Amino acid sequence: MLGKKGIAWYGARVMWYDVESNQYYYYHTNQISENDIEDGKLSTQCLATLLAHHRASYGSMHDQFILSTDGAGAFAGIDFMARLPYLYQEIGWRIISHYTGESGGGKGEVDANFALGKKLVRYYVTAQQGERDIGTVRDLVEVFFYHDDTIIVLVPSTSIL
């Protein structure tokens, strides 16, 4: 999803089961990049960056995952699909299943999280009374920085995949 022109803005819900506590845990993230081309390469970069963030935050208790994406071209196309097997080589994560659903439409929690993010952006721009818009990655991160439950994962402009 392109948040504003020139800013790629992806969202994710990370969920896992902890055997010791017998509980499910989850959190939402916003992956933000200055890359303005939403394609399979950037989608894979966002996924790799998210997995690295998860490992840094929660340790190495996981090395495999089930991926569920919407049917947007950036996730359903051959460019994205062909890069997925290399995640294991590059960062040590193995995809054991990939489910592709419909694109758009506000069907899940990630879309609901985006709706909240868009609301924050609209509120920010309105509060500035036209004095300032969201024109850079820094601006978008600033909007989310003041919202306590938002996790921001900045996607580097250099590719590992």
Query: What CATH number corresponds to the domain at position 97?
Result: 3.30.420
Distance CA(76)–CA(30), nearest Å, equals: 20
Q: Is 24 part of a structural domain of the chain?
A: yes
DSSP assignment letter at 30? E
Q: Is 82 part of a structural domain of the chain?
A: yes
Task: State how many domains the chain has.
Answer: 1
Q: Is 16 part of a structural domain of the chain?
A: yes
Q: Is 160 part of a structural domain of the chain?
A: no
pLDDT for 2:
43
Residue 138's domain comprises: 2-154
pLDDT for 1:
45
Q: Is 74 part of a structural domain of the chain?
A: yes
> Which pair of structure tokens corresponds to residue 133?
């818009």
Can you tell me whether residue 27 is helix, strand or coil?
A: strand
pLDDT for 70:
82
Q: Is 134 part of a structural domain of the chain?
A: yes
Alpha-carbon distance values, 139 to 66, 103, 133 (Å): 32, 27, 8
Q: Cβ atoms within 10 A of the Cβ of 37, count?
A: 10
If we measure between CA atoms, which residue out of 25, 93, 98, 18 comes closest to residue 63? 93
β 7-18/94-100 pair status: unpaired
DSSP assignment letter at 90? H
What's this model's pTM, rounded to 2 decimal places? 0.79
pLDDT band at 146 (very low <50, low <70, confident <90, very high): low
Q: How many residues does the chain have?
A: 161
Q: Is the pLDDT score of 90 beyond 60?
A: yes
The answer to whether the Cα torsion of 88, 92, 98, 104 is positive or negative is: negative
> Which pair of structure tokens corresponds to residue 123?
């509120």
Q: Is 14 part of a structural domain of the chain?
A: yes
Chain segment 14-65, per-residue pLDDT in tens: 888 888 889 998 888 888 888 877 888 999 988 988 888 888 888 777 788 8
Q: Is 161 part of a structural domain of the chain?
A: no
